[in-house]
Chain A
Amino acid sequence: MTLIIPPGQGRRPLDDDPRWYQTAVFYEVLVRGFADSNGDGTGDIRGVIDRLDYLEWLGVDCLWLLPFYSSPLRDGGYDISDFFSVLPEYGSVDDAAELIEQCHERGIRIIADMVMNHTSDAHPWFQESRQDRTNPKADWYVWSDDDQRYPEARIIFVDTEASNWTWDNQREQYYWHRFFHHQPDLNYDNPDVADAMLDVVRFWLRLGLDGFRLDAVPYLFEREGTNGENLPETHDYLRRVRKAVDDEFPGKVLLAEANQWPADVVDYFGEGDECHMCFHFPLMPRMYMSVRREQRYPITEILANTPEIPDKAQWGLFLRNHDELTLEMVNDEERDYMYSEYAKDPRMKRNVGIARRLFPLLDNDRRVAELFHALLFSLPGSPILYYGDEIGMGDNIYLGDRDGVRTPMQWSPDRNGGFSRADFAQLYLPPLMDPVYGYEAVNVEAGLRNPSSFLHWVQRMLHVRREHAVFGTGTFEVLGVENPSVLAFLRRRHSTDGDPDDIVLCVNNLSRFSQPAEILLTELAGMVPTELQGRVPFPPIGELPYFVTLPAYGFYWFVLQSLPEETES
């Protein structure tokens, strides 16, 4: 189907700033679920290419593709059986090269998932390694005669796995796996493995990819007496990868998936010599908590406990992604709270988390969705959108594992939601068809046609955000407000060339009731706030706390400018 794309902001050239990722907005694409170009029921790379005009209009800066490598697909492609080829259903390496080129033409960058920790058990490396104890790849995985080593390492997929060790009948030994038993961990103590994975990185960067989202990085090494997470050896290896990337492919980005507390995550930035970006995992569940509790403290506490990061580093912020809403980085009390508030049906729970999409989590409340995106776009970090959230897609909690949030993108009210011309039965997953979130009600085409749709709102907000680099690179300062339901903060970038500082004031009402806010801003007395969506000037800041009222779930973004010199009238 052809989408009629409204006129956008015009084509932008690829920005050559080596720190582009600090101001970029990312968009996460599930190749399998985005668009099916050949009618086989599964999305593919050419399908993504066909939809690039839409993404260009939306105003995203960088695509993040979930794994598209050859794989038996027992873990959504995170079980890779060949790092150098593309899963045939998705296309070929040539298709990938064309996608990269087409993205770049539109000023959009593109990164892809890279799984360094493990492979599929179908990978030829593992097939060779498991044959006996002496073959050339015998030491490429972590083997053991018993299943008692590394007892401190926790089991991550508690729903399906009983141990991190699985017995292999062929080699008659146990092999180590931090995730599913069909995903054996690579043995990074073997220098050949470390070299081989660097070659994988080089291959794709040479093809033009702009970087990687590195999956499950804390677990690369194992050491007795430790929990096997965040080991110094792992950091050493990441420094090696970073150096190779910087030396050979400047301007590329490494985004680490390290689901850890901020104090541990910051180690993955190193001293600016490991990953460029890390996800901020603990912030996300606390945004939900804050709005449910109608008070800012869950958010401000975690940000107050987030250490400074190196100058060239950046946080990756997200509301939802292809995994469950993970609750590993909250304490027990908070986890119980999140389950009771957001997973009322036990089927919504997955591992240690909640498998739901954004809009169902927010009871389909457009006002809350806007507030969440306003926070996502203004808190310190680069926002990462999940495909479908920009149109308010729902989920299907009756599908297994995390498939409930991986259903086909809904493009139009046509057959299969415009995702595919295949027979319904052939689709990799059924599209949503319920009356609230189904593709007849929620789809891109309808969103594009209606100027007041959520989709248009997101597009406008991304445009506003792009105008102010301070959202990406400014400092972050929570402002004093007595009202606990109001979260007010400044983003500020100190000017170096004598221009005035770039200052944005963000005020958010986390409550479903209208709220007043007296904001402590006397330091900026005399400046005039101008609201960024409508460019409406507000009264200047005086010597008393700045007073605003906010509607339910309302928010303001103000740019602060000095009052022009008074002229005699």
Chain B
Amino acid sequence: MIDVATLERLLPDFMVRQRWYGFGDVRPERVEVTDFEVWRDSWPGLVWALARPVFADEGAESDARFQVLVGLRSIDEYMHFLDGKGRSLLGDVATGSGEALAYDALVDGELALEIVRRIAPDFPANAVRPLPVDQTNTSIVVDDSAILKVFRRIRAGANPDAELPRRLWDVGFQQTPEPIAEWRRGDDDLAVLRRFLPSGTDGFVLALTSLRDLYSSRLAPEQCGGDFAPEARRLGEVTASLHTSLAQAFGSAPGDATAWTDAMADEVTRVEVPGISPDELVVRVRQLVGHAGADVGAAVRIHGDFHLGQTMRTDSGWFLLDFEGEPSRPLAERVLPASPLRDVAGMMRSFHYAADVALAERGDDVDTELRSLAAAWEARARTAFLDGYRAAVAGPESLVPTEPTAFASLLRAFELAKAVYEVGYELAHRPEWVDIPREAVQRLLSPPL
């Protein structure tokens, strides 16, 4: 089998090729294997490890650890599952039983199945396949009935994506896939197995379906066959139910407007928004939160990275997924109670993105009429979502501001902070998209209270 030293030698080049590796193209100087276990000693071999990249200049990220599962097969074997998967290769290694190829075990159906059985021995598993769209973690589909999500970046403490679904189910919230098993070692959440939603459609895809219909028929959104408002309204209702369930599971505290304002004021100055001064942003945030007065609702655990892409329309309504929170924030910050309106703001931003992404699909074939239809669609989706949300969130204790003007003003503050964050993200990753959030920042600065 592979030994620790060989693994440490192969990992730097391997890691830098992975989507889940969060340090761009900065190759670690070396990688230190902190945990190591041989799971299977015969062909094909299987090794589990946690590994810490070490950088030349020891920075704040020096405690980052990644989970790797290494498969090993004899170099003479033809490994069809590696076709087109050069990224998943670690390299050649010499073993006691001859030369072998080391690779990411999760692309090997046989080994992936073994991993599933190890994590959830009671779950009947027969076949697995990879789920192609994945960024920060690796997911595989088991028999089209369950998903194994293997966390890659391991942070000490409960991973909210393992913790929240379980706690939500415990209090009766079932609009997230049912947890089947969690795999932990010590303080670390390593993987979760949960129900797969085979008949589901990504909420963003569903919104695009509505928008393509809109742009093609050029009627007002409410006259379009593919009107999204009823879906948005139901999504608002489910979101409200998520927040009341989270409050039930984790408790709630009165919202702290001062702390929120300070945090947002700090966030918006971290990004340079072209053409807008940081002071203007800070003033606006303070103004918007201030306008809500004492009527700011509560602080609860929230989803934290809420947008259409984290939702799924199924035959039994909307499902909400992916509770890890914004991956760029430190874990300690992600699990802090926050205003539920932060999630709502995320969805508002997502409606805007959907409308503009569908416009962009049309290339040059965009005119002022389509632009105004996009705005009308977004406004209608917002209103419908908020109607559904407000009607369903109303309860004995108010999680959100009770007065409509306070609600709108606080929501706008969170939207502004989110849009500024998006500007920073787009500038760093997808500069061609930066106009979408920048336009939103402009909008959120301009209208009167």
Is B200 close to A, CB under 8 A? yes
| Cα distance A291–B209 in the bound complex, in angstroms | 12
Quick one: which of A294, A341, A480 contacts B198, CB cutoff 8 A?
A480
Residues of A within 8 A of B225 (CB): 291-294, 341
CB within 8 Å of B: which of A274-324?
Answer: 291-295, 297, 300-301, 304
The interface centre, meaning the residue of B143, B197, B212 with most chain A CB atoms within 10 A of its CB, is B212
Residues of B within 8 A of A543 (CB): 109, 127, 129
B131 to chain A, nearest CB (A): 10
Residues of B within 8 A of A485 (CB): 209
Q: Quick check: A484 and B201 within 8 Å, CB to CB?
A: yes
Q: Quick check: A295 and B127 within 8 Å, CB to CB?
A: no
The interface centre, meaning the residue of A293, A333, A481 with most chain B CB atoms within 10 A of its CB, is A293
A425 to chain B, nearest CB (A): 41
On whether A480 and B144 interact (CB within 8 A), knowing A295-B206, A297-B315, A337-B227, the answer reads yes
Is B230 close to A, CB under 8 A? yes
| Cα distance A304–B198 in the bound complex, in angstroms | 14
Quick one: which of A340, A480, A484, A520 contacts B206, CB cutoff 8 A?
A484
Q: Quick check: A478 and B199 within 8 Å, CB to CB?
A: yes
Quick one: which of A295, A300, A301 contacts B226, CB cutoff 8 A?
A295
Is B156 close to A, CB under 8 A? no
Q: Quick check: B209 and A511 within 8 Å, CB to CB?
A: yes
Q: Quick check: A482 and B205 within 8 Å, CB to CB?
A: yes
On whether A300 and B199 interact (CB within 8 A), knowing A295-B206, A513-B212, the answer reads yes
Q: Quick check: A300 and B315 within 8 Å, CB to CB?
A: yes
Residues of B within 8 A of A295 (CB): 201, 206, 209, 226, 313
B239 to chain A, nearest CB (A): 18
Q: Quick check: B313 and A484 within 8 Å, CB to CB?
A: yes
Residues of B within 8 A of A293 (CB): 210, 213, 225-227
- 9 A-B pairs with CB atoms under 8 Å apart are A292-B225, A294-B213, A480-B199, A482-B200, A483-B205, A511-B209, A512-B216, A543-B129, A544-B129
Task: Mark each residue of chain B from 300 to 312: 1 if its CB lies under 8 Å from any CB of chain A, else 0.
Answer: 0000000000000
Is B223 close to A, CB under 8 A? yes
Residues of B within 8 A of A479 (CB): 198-199
| Cα distance A292–B209 in the bound complex, in angstroms | 11
A478 to chain B, nearest CB (A): 6
| Cα distance A358–B316 in the bound complex, in angstroms | 29
Is B178 close to A, CB under 8 A? no
CB within 8 Å of A: which of B375-398?
Answer: none
CB within 8 Å of B: which of A467-487?
Answer: 478-485
| Cα distance A482–B315 in the bound complex, in angstroms | 12
Residue on B nearest A290 in the bound complex, by CB: B225
Is A17 close to B, CB under 8 A? no
CB within 8 Å of A: which of B304-344?
Answer: 313, 315-316
Task: Mark each residue of chain B from 105 to 142: 1 if its CB lies under 8 Å from any CB of chain A, else 0.
Answer: 00001000000000000000001010000000000000
| Cα distance A483–B210 in the bound complex, in angstroms | 12
On whether A483 and B226 interact (CB within 8 A), knowing A304-B315, A520-B144, the answer reads no
Interface residues of A (CB under 8 A from B): 291-295, 297, 300-301, 304, 333, 337, 340-341, 478-485, 511-513, 520, 522-523, 543-544
| Cα distance A511–B206 in the bound complex, in angstroms | 12
Q: What is the number of residues of chain B that contact chain A, defined by CB distance less than 8 Å?
A: 27
Interface residues of B (CB under 8 A from A): 109, 127, 129, 143-144, 197-202, 205-206, 209-210, 212-213, 216, 222-223, 225-227, 230, 313, 315-316
Residues of A within 8 A of B200 (CB): 480, 482
The interface centre, meaning the residue of A292, A297, A340 with most chain B CB atoms within 10 A of its CB, is A297
On whether A478 and B315 interact (CB within 8 A), knowing A292-B225, A300-B199, the answer reads yes
Residues of A within 8 A of B109 (CB): 543
Quick one: which of A304, A520, A523 contacts B316, CB cutoff 8 A?
A304
B387 to chain A, nearest CB (A): 12
A523 to chain B, nearest CB (A): 7
Quick one: which of A301, A333, A482 contacts B202, CB cutoff 8 A?
A482
Q: Quick check: B144 and A523 within 8 Å, CB to CB?
A: yes
A482-B200, A522-B144 provided; 20 other pairs, C-beta below 8 A?
A291-B225, A293-B213, A293-B227, A294-B225, A295-B201, A301-B315, A304-B316, A337-B227, A340-B222, A478-B315, A480-B144, A480-B198, A480-B199, A482-B201, A482-B205, A484-B206, A511-B209, A513-B216, A522-B127, A543-B127
A213 to chain B, nearest CB (A): 30
| Cα distance A228–B230 in the bound complex, in angstroms | 32
| Cα distance A459–B162 in the bound complex, in angstroms | 55
| Cα distance A512–B225 in the bound complex, in angstroms | 11
Residues of A within 8 A of B129 (CB): 522, 543-544
B87 to chain A, nearest CB (A): 18
| Cα distance A512–B198 in the bound complex, in angstroms | 24
A520 to chain B, nearest CB (A): 5
Residues of A within 8 A of B202 (CB): 482
Residues of B within 8 A of A544 (CB): 129
10 nearest CB pairs, A to B: A480-B198, A292-B225, A484-B201, A304-B315, A300-B315, A520-B144, A484-B206, A293-B226, A301-B315, A294-B226
Quick one: which of B143, B212, B230 contacts A337, CB cutoff 8 A?
B230
Residue on A nearest B228 in the bound complex, by CB: A293
Residues of A within 8 A of B313 (CB): 295, 297, 484
Residues of B within 8 A of A512 (CB): 216
Residues of B within 8 A of A511 (CB): 209
A336 to chain B, nearest CB (A): 10
The interface centre, meaning the residue of B199, B200, B205, B212 with most chain A CB atoms within 10 A of its CB, is B199
Residues of B within 8 A of A483 (CB): 201, 205
Q: Quick check: B315 and A520 within 8 Å, CB to CB?
A: no
Residues of B within 8 A of A292 (CB): 225-226
Residues of B within 8 A of A301 (CB): 315-316
Residues of A within 8 A of B206 (CB): 295, 484
| Cα distance A301–B231 in the bound complex, in angstroms | 13
Residues of B within 8 A of A333 (CB): 230
B108 to chain A, nearest CB (A): 13
B391 to chain A, nearest CB (A): 13
Residue on A nearest B212 in the bound complex, by CB: A513
| Cα distance A543–B143 in the bound complex, in angstroms | 11
The interface centre, meaning the residue of A292, A295, A337 with most chain B CB atoms within 10 A of its CB, is A295
Residue on A nearest B314 in the bound complex, by CB: A297
Q: Quick check: A484 and B205 within 8 Å, CB to CB?
A: yes
B142 to chain A, nearest CB (A): 10
Residues of A within 8 A of B315 (CB): 297, 300-301, 304, 478
Residues of B within 8 A of A297 (CB): 313, 315
Residue on B nearest A303 in the bound complex, by CB: B315
Residue on B nearest A521 in the bound complex, by CB: B144
Residue on A nearest B316 in the bound complex, by CB: A304
| Cα distance A479–B315 in the bound complex, in angstroms | 11
Residues of B within 8 A of A294 (CB): 209-210, 213, 225-226
A363 to chain B, nearest CB (A): 11
| Cα distance A482–B196 in the bound complex, in angstroms | 12
| Cα distance A484–B205 in the bound complex, in angstroms | 8
| Cα distance A147–B225 in the bound complex, in angstroms | 44
Residues of A within 8 A of B127 (CB): 522, 543
B204 to chain A, nearest CB (A): 11
B84 to chain A, nearest CB (A): 12
Residues of A within 8 A of B223 (CB): 340
| Cα distance A304–B200 in the bound complex, in angstroms | 13
Residue on B nearest A336 in the bound complex, by CB: B230
| Cα distance A337–B227 in the bound complex, in angstroms | 9
Residues of A within 8 A of B143 (CB): 522-523
Residues of A within 8 A of B227 (CB): 293, 337
Residue on A nearest B217 in the bound complex, by CB: A512
A299 to chain B, nearest CB (A): 9
Residues of B within 8 A of A300 (CB): 199, 315
A456 to chain B, nearest CB (A): 29
| Cα distance A341–B216 in the bound complex, in angstroms | 16
| Cα distance A484–B213 in the bound complex, in angstroms | 13
Residue on A nearest B233 in the bound complex, by CB: A333
B114 to chain A, nearest CB (A): 17
